[in-house]
Amino acid sequence: MLGTNGSEGAMTYTAAQNDLSLQKKKLAQEQFEIRLKKFTHNRASVFGLAVVTLVIVLAVFAPLIALHDPLAMNTADRLKGISAEHWFGTDNMGRDVFARVLYGARISLTVGFTVGLVSGFLGLVIGLYASTNKLADNILMRVCDGLKAIPSTLLAITMMAVLGADIKNVIISLIVVNIPNMARLARSQALVVKEQTYIEAMRCLGSSQKRILWAHIVPNILSPMIVQMTFVFASAIITEAALSFLGAGVPAPAPSWGNILKEGKDVIYTAWWMILFPGVFTALTVLGLNLLGDGVRDLMDPKSN
């Protein structure tokens, strides 16, 4: 900044600048409020937010809400329908399905959130690096093309077959599966931002490559990345459930939604509740995340104003 060396001219200049930055802040605040209003007026996004919040609350407070231990077997109470004691009935080992579904939300949300966040971050780093170095770009993007050529579910199944069924491995495989898309997105966005005049100006002013990347390019490509991360969050929940359903995901006694559905399939003639409740929870959570993602996209995209 130009100095505050005490001379009158500089003072007025600083004052004017302060005023300008204040105005800018106010404008940004107003714009944010407009977008927030738009978000709250969009019933679909509010519904999405409500569903996701509800599932998070249920998952966090599961020990307080559920009356039973999700792993406690009770052979006398096998395959009992809905009752005041067991809101969602009991499963083939007499475990409380309501408790299992709530604790299952913990697993699904943990997997989805971790996969979204980590694959987003790694994709960002890879995409940024690719956007600055031609050779690295060529190599990294060919690797991404190759990984994308294998359909994501199949790649995840194959990785699980090799690594072994375990929640840690589910997270690792889903991160690997989702990185290519994230990296491609970050790269393409970074390439567009890189050509902007203000980045050129920063370069002329002698800013370091690192500073340009992290202080100027990253904030400008963050919103599409965050939107994409919510969709990865949703798709990771689906894939985790599918993997567990196939017996290649979270190992058996753990109450993952996919596991409950897998056990429910074996008793489909007698215990519809073992399919309906975890199924509805899975579908609603994914729907909520998708709606929320759409809402966040509208919120963050200045063009949609």
Partner 1 sequence: MQKFIVRRLLSVIPVLFVVSVVIFTLLKMVPGSPAATLLGDLATADDIAKLEEKMGLNRPLVEQYFIWIGNMFHGDFGISTAGGEPVASVVFSHVKPTISLALYALIIASVIAIPMGMLAAKNKGTGIDHGVTVLSLAGISLPSFLFGLFLMLIFAVKLHFFPVSGYVEISRGLWPHIKSLTLPAVALGFMNAALMMRMTRSAMLEVLGSDYIRMAKAKGVRNFVITTKHALRNSLVTIITMIGQSAVQMLAGAAVIESLFAIPGLGQLMVNSIGRRDYYVIQAIVLLIALFNVLINMLVDLLYGVADPRVRAT
Q: How big is the site for partner 1, counted in residues (CB under 8 A)?
A: 43
Q: Measured between alpha carbons, how far is 193 from 13 in angstroms, rounded to an integer?
A: 30
Instruction: Report if residue 146 touches partner 1, rule: CB under 8 A.
Output: yes
Cβ proximity of 81 and 97 under 8 Å: no
Within positions 110 to 129, which residues make up the interface with partner 1, using CB under 8 A?
none
CB of 301 to partner 1, least distance (A): 16
Nearer to partner 1, 73 or 82 (CB): 82
Contact 97, 70 (CB under 8 A): no
Task: Indicate the residue among 136 and 268 with the shorter CB distance to partner 1.
Answer: 268
Residue with token string 């709530």: 102
The Cα-based distances of 233 to 45, 116, 185, 229, 297 in angstroms read 16, 5, 16, 6, 15
Nearest one of 227, 263, 281 to 73, comparing CA atoms: 263
Least CB distance to partner 1 at residue 18 (A) = 45
Sign of the C-alpha dihedral computed for residues 146, 149, 153 and 159 taken in this order:
negative
| CB of 222 closer than 8 Å to CB of 297 | no
Nearer to partner 1, 73 or 284 (CB): 284
Please select the residue that binds partner 1; options are 147, 202, 222, 226, rule is CB under 8 A. Answer: 147
Judge whether 129 and 140 are in contact, CB under 8 Å.
yes
Q: Which is nearer to partner 1, 98 or 277 (CB)?
A: 277
Task: Give CA torsion, residues 93, 99, 101, 105, to 10 deg.
Answer: -140
- Regarding 136 and contact with partner 1 (CB under 8 A), the answer is no
Instruction: Tell me the closest approach of the beta carbon of residue 148 to partner 1, in angstroms.
Output: 9
Q: Is 50 in the site for partner 1 (CB under 8 A)?
A: no
Residue closer to partner 1 by CB (options 110, 153) is 153
The interface mask with partner 1, positions 233-262, x = CB under 8 A, is -x---x--xx--xxxx------------x-
Identity of the residue, 226 or 242, whose beta carbon is nearer to partner 1 in the bound complex: 242
Angle between helices 97-132 and 273-300 (to 10 degrees): 30
> What is the nearest approach in angstroms of partner 1 to the Cβ of residue 305?
20
Find the helix packing angle between 8-41 and 273-300, rounded to 10°.
Answer: 150
257-264: long-range contacts, CB 8 A cutoff, minimum separation 24? 257/101, 257/104, 257/105, 257/107, 257/108, 257/281, 257/282, 259/104, 260/91, 260/97, 260/100, 260/101, 260/104, 263/91, 263/92, 264/91
Nearer to partner 1, 10 or 143 (CB): 143
Among 16, 22, 283, 304, binds partner 1 (CB under 8 A): 283
Instruction: Identify the residue among 129, 193, 290, 298 touching partner 1 (CB under 8 A).
Output: 290
Q: Does 157 bind partner 1 (CB under 8 A)?
A: yes
**Which lies closer to partner 1 via its Cβ, residue 28 or residue 150?**
150
**Alpha-carbon gap, residue 120 to 132, rounded angstroms:** 18
Question: Does residue 161 touch partner 1 according to CB under 8 A?
Answer: yes
Q: How many CB atoms lie within 10 A of CB 226?
A: 16
Min dist. Cβ of residue 40 to partner 1 (A): 20
Residues 264, 277, 292, 295: which binds partner 1 (CB under 8 A)? 264
Q: Give contact residues for partner 1 (rule: CB under 8 A).
A: 142-143, 145-147, 149-155, 157-163, 234, 238, 241-242, 245-248, 261, 264-265, 268-269, 272, 275-276, 279, 282-284, 286-287, 290-291
